[in-house]
Structure 1
Amino acid sequence: MSSEWLSVAEIFGEDVFNDAVMQERLPKKVYKKLKQTIEEGKELDLETADVIAHEMKEWAIEKGATHYTHWFQPLTGVTAEKHDSFISAPLPSGKVLMSFSGKELIKGEPDASSFPSGGLRATFEARGYTAWDCTSPAFVRKDAAGAILCIPTAFCSYTGEALDEKTPLLRSMEAINKESIRLLRLFGNTTSKKVTPSVGPEQEYFLVDAKKFLQRKDLIYTGRTLFGAMPPKGQELDDHYFGTIRQRVASYMKDVNEELWKLGVAAKTQHNEVAPAQHELAPIYAEANIAVDHNQIIMKTLKKVACEHGLKCLLHEKPFAGVNGSGKHNNWSITTDDGINMLDPGKTPHENVQFLLVLACILKAVDVHADLLRESAADPGNDHRLGANEAPPAIISIFLGEQLQDVVEQLLSTGEATHSLNGGKLQTGVTTLPDLTKDATDRNRTSPFAFTGNKFEFRMVGSRDSIAGSNVVLNTIVAEAFAEACDVLEKADDFDTAVHSLIKEYLTDHQRIIFNGNGYSDEWVAEAEKRGLPNIKSMVEAIPALTTDKAVELFGKFGVFTKAELESRAEIKYENYAKAINIEAKAMIDIAAKQIIPAVVKYTKELADTVLAVKEAGADASVQAEMLADISGLLTETKAALKKLEAVTEEAAGKEEGKVQSEFYHFSVVPAMEGLRTPVDELEMIVDKEVWPMPSYGDLLFEV
């Protein structure tokens, strides 16, 4: 075993109050009660919480912590925290005690008035609560503020509504656990006690030089370039993908890994992605709520460590036009507490009736609720990414692969599957290379929801977004399909006949959702329309899925969202979209008016002076004159487009907030923004680089 591996093994989880630490530090009785709370949901009494809090505090202080925070995920897309020191009231001697009670551990009370609530709370109704999520371990984070004990929590209003990402996720995990156990019992499984969705989110990101970043107001204000002409070379040679990692980036990745390992995040894979300056980090699978927390830690760590290396990490879904954007591939499966993956087809899936029922239920769930799954990946940045030849289309479909597709076709045609395709051997044709075992199924990078051996990969999630929303939808829609299947099968006189009939019924009714071809093609768009599949192209068009009668019934049935909570989330999303586009439009106006147009005007004067000087010298000034005419024409177009954007942005501000305003931003302001960008990007191609007021795409993408 190498010394490097030993060092990783030694540091992994060293800043986490994990199970090993709890076993070591907590009295056996207290540890047992806490484990019952974590595994069985039993209530934790205050006396036990006091003991846990004391030991957690002592451990954190040993790690250098002076403060603690209830670390939560409000509906802002990022995490939030308020730091409190361990200091208690001063003693008569002038000294202080360091204390932390069970009550402080279990419940916090932040000001909820300034967090998005979508009308659930009035501004003057400030009280909100954070509640300890003991299923996700506390950790000590070290940064410029010192060492902080971070306690993962849920966040709800004074009247109990969920104001965060974590609460509905935990509710949805309880729903799929309950319905999965029902299904397993039907197949004679009496040993599994709990079923948990497992998630492995791959995280894509860009790295740019910090000094160049600070010269781009669009990146500072919006996280993406609002202007920018493509350099001579982009990603067309495919030479960046999996290429040798540059030394500066490799040093950055090393530090990212070390920080994540200390925090118990099992960062495993790192590589260059398709676009220049784009990279990816992938962790090992974890339970859904822990995976959500870990992904937030990953995003924060990527940004923090970048600053330490003179870099900036861009998590926007489309920071650069013309090259690939960034997403987050959400790999989802469901696993029992005794290690059974319910999405594992085995070597002969045609004989695995339980798997076939699970698969049929998932097909049904995704077909019935395709609009909700699409909405869960809706984001202003994702509007630039989804549907391009780099990401899944905005149409939801499922890729099964050759092996499962063959089994499904057998069941649909004859009602019985008698064989499964095998992978066989892959012969390379080189005698010195070994023959490889070939998978029974290829991969499909164009599918938004692809089966990849023993899991489904939902590829639509935006790179900045919390993965909580998508997993809430996945957990709940599959729970519903399982529940409906169990309702039928629990009443059946002949279980074997009933389950085979149900599998065929679900496959017949929902086969339209299966598509194994090229999801990027125009032919698929036309085919999907024939099949009646929704093609929801933008966030604004996706949001209404949250408040349909179908969605209200679904989430209400499993206690994941109330109708009021769904309506509030729709309102928040409309508001967020309008604000995001408004900021982008104002940033474009500011940059064009104060930087680009003045720079071009100055350059046209220099060019005009050159034309006159050349003519006075008796030489041909036609080239200079032609350049001056072209630039002047584009400058006129730019000024006209700027005026139009100013007018339409001002008009948007006066629209009724919510759906009406968001639609106006999408259908009127966004096209006006594109109208301004077009002549500016053309100007960048012909104006002297020394005059252009900001770093180019070439500077940003290739000089890292």
Structure 2
Amino acid sequence: MSTLRFEALKVSSARKPVKFEELDKKSAIFGSNVFNDKSMRQYLTSDAYQGVKDAVQHGKKIDRKLADYIALGMKEWALSKGVTHYTHWFQPLTGTTAEKHDAFFETSYDGSDPVEKFGGGQLVQQEPDASSFPNGGIRNTFEARGYTAWDPTSPAFIFGTTLCIPTVFVSYTGEALDYKTPLLRALNAIDEAATSVCRYFDKNVKKVTATLGWEQEYFLIDSALANTRPDILMTGRTLLGHTSAKGQQLDDHYFGSIPTRALVYMRELEYECMLLGIPVKTRHNEVAPNQFELAPIFEETNLAVDHNSLLMDVMQKVAERHDFKVLFHEKPFKGVNGSGKHNNWSLATDTGVNLLSPSKTPMSNLQFLTFFINTIKAVNTYEALLRGAIASASNDHRLGANEAPPAIISVFIGEQLTKVLAELEGVSTGKLSPEEKTDLKLNVVGKIPDVLLDNTDRNRTSPFAFTGNKFEFRAVGSSANCANSMTTLNTIVAKQLKEFKVEVDNLIENKDMKKDDAIFNVLREYIKQSKNILFEGDGYSDAWEIEAGKRGLSNFKTTPKALQARVSEQAISLFSEMNVMNHVEVEARYEIELEEYTKRIQIEGRVLGDIARNHVIPTAIRYQNTLIENVRGLKEIFGAEYETIGKEQIVLIREISEHIAGINMKVEEMTEERKKANELGAQESAEAYCDAVRPYFDVIRNHCDKLELLVDDEIWTLTKYRELLFTK
């Protein structure tokens, strides 16, 4: 083992476990660093408090005078907790969060009369540089102005000694430059559309909220070992490395006893989450070695997205204190499971009803079927757009194997619900007789809870699966911002519900149908139209790929192809009609995501070439020289017999030379392909990096991994898979 790897392992093995003790019950500390309802009641005037509540519940605008009172109360609360700075916390299109800290502390022009100052102006709006963030051409360097604006629907929180105020981020001309703004618009669209449909069943419903429960998968790697791997540090994944003799094949890690060091990390992480109001509830070992998962209680989607973005930052900061590195990459290690971020989505009314949860009454179940079938119809219509919403260079590595869903979007609902839909499809056209209606409600609709109770199942190869009282969008990648997929999903369902309402009302008004008859007739047609998207089998099979093609479903295996659906006429029309994004915002995001894909593959190519030539080849030559000296020694001792005695060493020398030559040749070819790709336009460049540059990665890696098996372990400089995956 090389000195570098030995020292890294020595640091890991000698490290004393960090002790962490929770001093309070989680319920006692939950949200104590959040400017929540309890804090607002204590620090705000009644008018200021009501102003925030009206903004959150009814979307009313907060005037500047009221904002001054809110800012004053927020500042006093923050100062009482030792806070010294504040920041507008936002989510630009970088995939991470952004913040610029300003001190409360101010002085007069002559330096006297210091005071802690924070007013409505600082709370409501700030002006970060918009040109230095990804903007897809919306902003130029000489047009740098952009605005962050307070989002009162997501409460301010304290992290460290900084008051963080969740905000949207828009350009000077008003286009969204972040993930939050389109999401808020999509959530408003689904609220309006779903509320209108709900009133067929309950006139008391005034608001429908989209809910989200994400499941965050991740790897924990010892930071000392990770620091010996340039590929992990620069790209978040291993670009080379031979698979360990033992991986996940024994299935002994999944749901096993959590390693002590990882558990101590998790406990501190959960403590920080409790302070920040992130309701994490579940933790467990995942399938791959050193892979774990945490999941929260369901929340309103905007807040859930904020919490997930915040959590990923907190996870890294806590990991540093425990000498861990967190890997969010969808496929950091070859040959073992990758990581996803399953987005569990549902809709809830202000009357306390989960619209995707059946009940004991036929009327409630008709409501369930309405939202259930409309969601399926929406996915059927916009399956290519959903695929585009989860496309990334890193997720391309994950989709299609090791329990990750394939690139073909389909919906799994289970055998029993498939039978229910088949029976509904057989409903007669037009008005139902009293006997037909009674039979339908009692024997089909009324029995749905019993069907779900014992007969729901899961299909881990399904990208979009119904799991009892929610849909699970399993194809979302672990490093992704949930807002991208949730903006698309809520928009397409809102559009579909809007169309459903028009069709039902038309039958009621123009065909003189009863409400239930109209609903059944429309749902029956939707079932017929959506059959292509339903699939219960093995998503990895070649047969499904062939069948999906016959059904007309898209199969975009790479990001450059998948992203084109984001700027299709269908997509631009959808987002524009639903007031989620205009064509400028849609096209800008497409440009940004293409550019990000290209840059990530470009960086990986450069890093791989660097490691191959500056780590692997020198190490291989060093070992090869040792073998050459050994052969020379044999020749001196045994004379002509050395050719027989040293035969294996000679074969090994030749094999090492072939791999070295292969690496050099392929790195040179890859570099030339990168140069060609760099001269092309955005779409063509991304496709060139995908089709002409990326294939070299596997070839170069194969040569490097073969050398890892041939070269003396004592001089191999790069930490190996067995050490990265099994060091506790």
TM-score (normalised: structure 1): 0.95
Q: Does 1:305 align with 2:318?
A: yes
Residues 76-118 of structure 1: CA deviation (Å, up to 9, x unaligned)? 1001011111122337673411010011101111111101110
Cα deviation 1:479-531 (Å, max 9, x = unaligned): 01100010122232322221111000000011111111222222211221121
Q: After alignment, is 27-36 or 560-569 more displaced?
A: 27-36
- 1:139 and 1:149 in contact (8 A); partners too: yes
1:340-387 deviation line (CA, Å, top 9, x unaligned): 111112257797222112122111100110011111110110010001
Shift of 1:7: 2.1
Kindly tell me: are residues 559 and 93 of structure 1, through their superposed partners in 2, closer, same or farther at Cα, counting changes over 3 Å? closer
Mapped pair 1:61 → 2:79: yes
Of residues 34, 40, 48 in structure 2, which corresponds to 1:22?
40
Letter of the 2:239 partner, please give it: L
In structure 2, C-alpha distance between the alignment counterparts of 1:349 and 1:118, rounded to whole Å: 50
Indicate how the Cα distance of structure 1 residues 93 and 299 shifts in structure 2: closer, same or farther if over 3 A, else same.
closer
Over 3 Å counting, the alpha-carbon distance change for 1:217 and 1:4 in structure 2 is closer
Say whether residues 1:528 and 2:548 are aligned partners. Answer: yes
Aligned to 1:186, what secondary structure does the other structure show?
Answer: coil
SS of the residue corresponding to residue 455 of structure 2 reads coil
* Residue 453 (1) aligns with residue 453 (2): no
Q: Does 1:318 align with 2:331?
A: yes
CA–CA distance in 1 between the matches of 2:361 and 2:617? 66
**Equivalent position SS for 1:65:** coil
**Does the 8 Å CA contact 2:316/2:325 hold for their aligned counterparts?**
yes
1:337 paired with 2:350, answer yes
Name the structure 1 match of 2:97.
79
User: What count of residue pairs does the alignment treat as equivalent?
Assistant: 685
Unaligned segments of structure 2, at least 5 residues: 1-20, 429-439
Q: 2:704 aligns with which of 657, 665, 680?
A: 680
Post-superposition CA distance 1:426-482 (Å, at most 9, x none): xxxxxxxxxxx9633112111110001110000011111100010001110000110
- Residue 650 of structure 1 corresponds to which residue in structure 2? 675
- Contact 1:265–1:283 at 8 Å: present in 2 too? yes
Distance 1:625 1:423 in 2: 72
Identity of aligned residues (%): 47
CA deviation after TM superposition for structure 1 residue 403, in Å: 2.7
Q: Within 5 A, what are the aligned runs for 1:251-270?
A: 251-270=264-283
State whether residues 427 and 524 of structure 2, in contact with CA within 8 Å, keep that contact through their aligned partners in structure 1.
Answer: no
The aligned counterpart of 2:11 is: none
Q: Distance in 1 between matches of 2:108 and 2:158?
A: 25
Give the equivalent residue in structure 2 for 1:90.
Answer: 108
For residues 424 and 192 of structure 1, the distance between their equivalents in structure 2, rounded to whole angstroms, comes to 26
Secondary structure in 2 aligned to 1:271? strand
* Mapped partners of 1:69, 1:423: distance in 2: 48
Contact 1:389/1:520 (8 A) holds in 2: no
Q: 1:190 to 1:5 in 2, by over 3 A?
A: farther
Q: Does 1:137 align with 2:166?
A: no
Task: Give the Cα–Cα distance (whole angstroms) in 1 for the partners of residues 355 and 693 of structure 2.
Answer: 47
**SS at the partner of 1:450?**
strand
Native 8 Å contact 2:212 2:299 kept in 1? yes
- Equivalent in 255, 260, 267 of residue 242 of structure 1: 255
* 2:603 is equivalent to residue 588 of structure 1: no
* Equivalence for 1:430: none
> What secondary structure does 2:115 align onto?
coil
Indicate whether 1:50 and 2:64 are aligned: no
Change (3 A) 1:424 1:117: closer
Q: 1:153 maps to what in 2?
A: 167
CA distances 1:566-593 after superposition (whole Å, capped 9, x unpaired): 1111111111111110000011111111
Cα deviation, 1:46-77, whole Å, max 9, x if unaligned, reads: 11111110111111111111110000001110
TM-score (norm 2): 0.92
Work out the CA distance in 2 between the residues paired with 1:34 and 1:348. 37
Match of 1:638 among 663, 680, 688: 663
User: Which consecutive unaligned segments of at least 5 residues does structure 1 have?
Assistant: 426-436
Contact 1:349 1:356 survives alignment (8 Å) = no
SS at the partner of 1:674? helix
- The alignment status of 1:564 with 2:584, answered yes or no, reads yes
State the secondary structure of the residue aligned to 1:122: coil
Q: Which structure shows the higher helix fraction?
A: 2
Q: Taking structure 1 as reference, are residues 93 and 497 closer, same or farther at Cα in structure 2, changes over 3 Å only?
A: closer
For the pair 1:512 / 2:532, whether they are aligned, the reply is: yes
User: In structure 2, which of residues 627, 630, 645 is the aligned counterpart of residue 607 of structure 1?
Assistant: 627
One-letter amino acid of the structure 2 residue matched with residue 375 of structure 1: G
Deviation of the 1:693 alpha carbon: 1.7
Query: Secondary structure, in 3 states, of the residue corresponding to 2:173?
Result: coil
Counterpart CA distance in 2 for 1:349 and 1:578 is: 52
What are the residue-to-residue correspondences of 1:187-586 with 2, within 5 Å?
A: 187=201, 189-347=202-360, 352-415=365-428, 416=440, 418-419=443-444, 439-491=454-506, 492=508, 493-494=512-513, 495-586=515-606
Structure 1 residue identity aligned to 2:724:
L
CA displacement at 1:238 relative to structure 2: 0.6
* Matching residue of 1:170: 184
> In structure 2, how many angstroms separate the alpha carbons of the residues matched to 1:4 and 1:220?
32
For the Cα contact (< 8 Å) 2:273–2:279, is it kept in 1? yes
Q: Is the 8 A contact 2:708 2:716 kept in 1?
A: yes
**Quick check: 1:245–1:271 contact (8 Å CA) kept in 2?**
yes
| Superposition deviation, residue 423 in structure 1 | 8.5
Distance across 2 between alignment mates of 1:134 and 1:102: 13
The AA in structure 1 aligned to 2:406 is: P
- Which residue of structure 2 aligns with residue 628 of structure 1? 653
SS of the aligned residue for 2:144 comes to: coil
Is contact 1:240–1:272 with CA below 8 Å preserved after alignment? yes
d(CA) in 1 for partners of 2:305, 2:83: 24
* 2:691 alignment counterpart: 667
Q: Kindly provide the amino acid, as one letter, of the partner of residue 42 in structure 1.
A: K
For residues 671 and 279 of structure 2, what CA distance do their matches in structure 1 show? Answer: 48
| Alpha carbons 1:349, 1:355 under 8 Å: kept | no
AA matched with 2:498: A
The offset of 1:181, in angstroms, is: 1.0
Residues in 2 aligned to 1:347 and 1:540: alpha-carbon distance in whole angstroms: 47
Return the alpha-carbon distance in structure 2 between the equivalents of residues 488 and 413 of structure 1. Answer: 19
Distance 1:33 1:326 in 2: 42
Q: CA deviation at 1:412?
A: 2.1
2:203 and 2:403 mapped to 1: Cα distance? 45
CA shift in 2, pair 1:562/1:93, >3 Å: closer
Q: Name which of structure 1's ranges 195-204 and 5-14 shifts more when overlaid on structure 2.
A: 5-14
8 A contact 1:422–1:440 mirrored in 2: no
Query: How far is the alpha carbon of 1:9 from its aligned partner?
Result: 1.6
1:276 & 1:349 partners in 2: Cα distance? 47
Cα deviations by residue, 1:186-244 (Å, 9 ceiling, x for unpaired): 22x22121111000010000011111111100111111111110010010111000011
Q: In structure 1, how many angstroms separate the alpha carbons of the residues matched to 2:516 and 2:484?
A: 36
> Quick one: which amino acid aligns to residue 129 of structure 1?
Y
Equivalent position of 2:13 in the other structure: none
Match of 1:126 among 131, 136, 144: 144
Deviation sequence 1:286-334 (CA, Å, 0-9, x none): 1110000000111111111111111100111111111111110000001
Contact 2:358/2:449 (8 A) holds in 1 = no
